[in-house]
Amino acid sequence: MTKTKAVFIVGGSGFVGTHLALRLRDRYKVFGTYCNHPVRIPGVTLLPMNLGNRNLIKRMVYTIRPEAVIYAAGSNDVDWVEANARESELAHTSGAASISNVAEIFQPKFVYLSNCYTFDGNRGNYHEGDTVLPATALGKAKVGGENFIRGKSLNYVIIRSSPIFGRGNGISRTFLDRLRMKLARGERIEASDSELHSFAPIEGLAEVIDRVLDSGIRNKTLHYGGLTKVTLYEWARLFARRFGYPAELITAKRLTSGTASNYELPQLDYSLNSTQSYGMLKIKPLLLEESFDLIEKNLVPRL
Which residues are near ligand NAP by CB under 6 A? 11, 13-17, 33-37, 49-51, 72-76, 90-91, 113, 115, 161, 163-164, 172
Q: CB 259 → ligand NAP: shortest distance, Å? A: 30
Q: CB 76 → ligand NAP: shortest distance, Å? A: 4
Instruction: Round to whole Å and give the CA distance between 32 and 20.
Output: 10
Crossing angle of the two packed helices 202-214 and 288-296, in degrees rounded to 10: 90
Q: By C-beta, is 7 or 302 nearer to ligand NAP?
A: 7
Backbone φ and ψ of 85, nearest 5°: -60, -45
Q: CB 166 → ligand NAP: shortest distance, Å? A: 9
Q: By C-beta, is 163 or 204 nearer to ligand NAP?
A: 163
Q: Are strands 156-161 and 44-48 parallel, antiparallel or unpaired?
A: unpaired
Q: CB 27 → ligand NAP: shortest distance, Å? A: 21
Q: CB 2 → ligand NAP: shortest distance, Å? A: 28
Q: Could you tell me if 252 and 106 are in contact, meaning their C-beta atoms sit under 8 angstroms apart? A: no
Q: By C-beta, is 73 or 132 nearer to ligand NAP?
A: 73
Name the residue whose CB lies closest to ligand NAP. Answer: 14
Q: Could you tell me if 135 and 266 are in contact, meaning their C-beta atoms sit under 8 angstroms apart? A: no
Q: By C-beta, is 45 or 50 nearer to ligand NAP?
A: 50
Q: By C-beta, is 115 or 291 nearer to ligand NAP?
A: 115
Q: Which residues make beta-bridge pairs with 258?
A: none
Instruction: Round to whole Å and give the CA distance between 71 and 12.
Output: 9
Question: Kind and range of the H or E element at 130?
Answer: none
Q: Name residue 158's amino acid.
A: I
Residue (of 257, 221, 242) closest to 287 by Cα position: 242
Backbone φ and ψ of 8, nearest 5°: -110, 110
Q: By C-beta, is 153 or 161 nearer to ligand NAP?
A: 161
Q: By C-beta, is 50 or 276 nearer to ligand NAP?
A: 50
Backbone φ and ψ of 265, nearest 5°: -75, 150
Degrees to nearest 5, angle at CA 163 with 158 and 164: 95
Q: CB 138 → ligand NAP: shortest distance, Å? A: 7
Q: By C-beta, is 63 or 257 nearer to ligand NAP?
A: 63
Q: CB 15 → ligand NAP: shortest distance, Å? A: 4
Q: CB 238 → ligand NAP: shortest distance, Å? A: 17
Instruction: Round to whole Å and give the CA distance between 128 and 259.
Output: 36
Residue (of 50, 15, 9) closest to 172 by Cα position: 15
Q: How many CB atoms lie within 10 A of CB 170?
A: 10
Q: Are strands 195-197 and 230-231 parallel, antiparallel or unpaired?
A: antiparallel
Instruction: Round to whole Å and give the CA distance between 152 and 141.
Output: 17
